[in-house]
Chain A
Amino acid sequence: DVKVTQSSRYLVKRTGEKVFLECVQDMDHENMFWYRQDPGLGLRLIYFSYDVKMKEKGDIPEGYSVSREKKERFSLILESASTNQTSMYLCASRFLSTEAFFGQGTRLTVV
């Protein structure tokens, strides 16, 4: 079974803090993704990576950056958290163009 694990289920951070969301997959997938999920807006792609050190902006990259130093790990960084970044964050990985596997999600609240 493919496992995609996000480091935290719930996080509460203060405005202006630097926030790291970590995601690890155990199936040697090249492609990894970060989405945010908001009611009525669906899943919006923040960034994705198709190889180590390769990244591409998604639809809403502003205020976020990513890091992929190792194949199994994809980190999402909020440089200076703001209240409008309060959301559910989902990480996913996939092999080539096949099925994507999702983590359990991190519910981030910025106060």
Chain B
Amino acid sequence: AQRVTQPEKLLSVFKGAPVELKCNYSYSGSPELFWYVQYSRQRLQLLLRHISRESIKGFTADLNKGETSFHLKKPFAQEEDSAMYYCALSGRGGGSNYKLTFGKGTLLTVNP
């Protein structure tokens, strides 16, 4: 069974402070990991995926297979980063492997 765990429901930081949103996963094969974000009154959208190794809006995430983690980081939080963040996992190889499982989400609030 595949599982995604986000241990923090709520995270509150001040503007300019570093942010780390934690994500741990359980999967028997080689996973695809994603971070999705939902801003207020907007639809869920992709923030980044591990395979692209990009930095989006200053966020980065590194897949650590040894610790089965995919934590999201940003060195200097901005007020516009306030949103709900979801970590997600999928398999590869076709058919039912493309099942996409989400964690429970972390609500990030960046205070002025």
Q: Would A97 and B98 be within 8 Å (CB), given that A41-B104, A42-B105, A43-B86 are in contact?
A: yes
Do most interface residues of chain A lie in helix, strand or loop, or is the interface mixed?
strand
Please tell me if the beta carbons of A42 and B102 are within 8 angstroms of each other in the complex. Answer: yes
Q: Which of B18-61 contact A (CB under 8 A)?
A: 32, 34, 36, 43-46, 49
With a cutoff of 8 Å between Cβ atoms, the chain A residues found around residue B92 in the complex are 97
B86-102: contact bitstring with A at CB < 8 Å (1 yes, 0 no)? 10101110111111111
Q: Tell me whether A102 and B45 are in contact (CB under 8 A).
A: yes
New A-B contacts (17) at CB < 8 Å, excluding given A45-B101, A100-B46: A30-B98, A31-B100, A40-B104, A42-B102, A43-B44, A44-B102, A45-B99, A50-B95, A50-B96, A50-B98, A94-B98, A97-B91, A97-B97, A100-B34, A100-B36, A100-B88, A102-B43
- Tally B residues with Cβ within 8 Å of A: 27
- Within 8 Å by CB of A31, from B45, B98, B102, lies B98
Expressed in whole angstroms, the Cα–Cα distance for A100 and B49 within the complex equals 11
Indicate which residue in B49, B96, B104 contacts A99 across the interface (CB closer than 8 Å).
B49
The 8 Å CB contact of A56, one of B34, B86, B96, B102, is: B96
Task: Confirm or deny: B65 has a beta carbon within 8 angstroms of a beta carbon on chain A.
Answer: no
CA A100 to CA B90, docked complex, whole Å:
11
Residues of chain B at the chain A interface (Cβ within 8 Å): 6, 9, 32, 34, 36, 43-46, 49, 86, 88, 90-92, 94-105
Picked from A54, A92, A103, the residue with its CB within 8 Å of the CB of B100 is A92
A31 CA to B99 CA in the complex, in Å?
A: 8
Residues of B within 8 A of A33 (CB): 100
Would you give 18 A-B contacts (Cβ < 8 Å), ordered by A?
Answer: A41-B104, A42-B6, A42-B103, A43-B105, A45-B99, A45-B102, A48-B98, A48-B100, A50-B96, A56-B99, A59-B101, A92-B100, A94-B98, A97-B91, A100-B46, A100-B88, A102-B45, A105-B43
